Amino acid sequence: MTKLTKRQIVQIHEKCLNLVKRKPAEFFQFRKMNKYEGSCNWTDIEIDHRRELLSTAYHECVHYIYPNYSESMVKYIEKRLVNVCDPFEISYFLKLLANKLYKSEFQKYILKHKNLKNKFKNKTKKIT
Ligand SMILES: [Zn+2]
């Protein structure tokens, strides 16, 4: 497996930042998973919010950016990202990701409650 320099890791971090910036909120989802901490489906990135949030987010971003990289290579980059990158840069990544996740979960929340409201409306209609 090829080892990467700090400079290369910082460049990958830049790519992760750009990915979170350019993708719409729905691209990032929270989901409980049994076997995995996260998943990268090419249409979206899912993260189990009960697990290591930061590392999982980096892991899935790296899968998305480098689809040909092996699982062990992705794991190596994930570990290097959290070790090598500046905490300020990491916090910026987290901030952007949190914003997207919030918007994404908020949309789901609204939809869920809208459906509940409609169900209730329909029921009351049937009664009257
Ligand atoms: Zn993986």
How much distance in Å is there from the Cα of 98 to the middle of ligand 1?
21
**74, 66 Cβ separation under 8 angstroms:** yes
How much distance in Å is there from the Cα of 63 to the middle of ligand 1?
7
Given the structure tokens 């914003």, which residue do they identify? 99
Residue 1 lies in a domain: no
How much distance in Å is there from the Cα of 70 to the middle of ligand 1?
8
pLDDT in tens, 103-126: 999 999 999 888 777 777 766 665
Residues 71 and 48: their CA atoms lie apart, in Å, by 18
Q: How far is CA 106 from CA 30, 37, 109, in A?
A: 11, 22, 5
Enclosing H/E stretch for 40: strand 38-40
Range of the domain at 80: 6-127
How much distance in Å is there from the Cα of 109 to the middle of ligand 1?
28
pLDDT at residue number 119? 72
Given the structure tokens 């400079």, which residue do they identify? 7
Instruction: Give the model's confidence band at 42: pLDDT under 50 very low, under 70 low, under 90 confident, else very high.
Output: confident
Structural domains of the chain, count: 1
pLDDT in tens, 59-96: 999 999 999 999 999 999 999 999 999 999 999 999 99
What CATH number corresponds to the domain at position 103?
Answer: 3.30.2010
Instruction: Kindly report the pTM of this predicted structure.
Output: 0.87
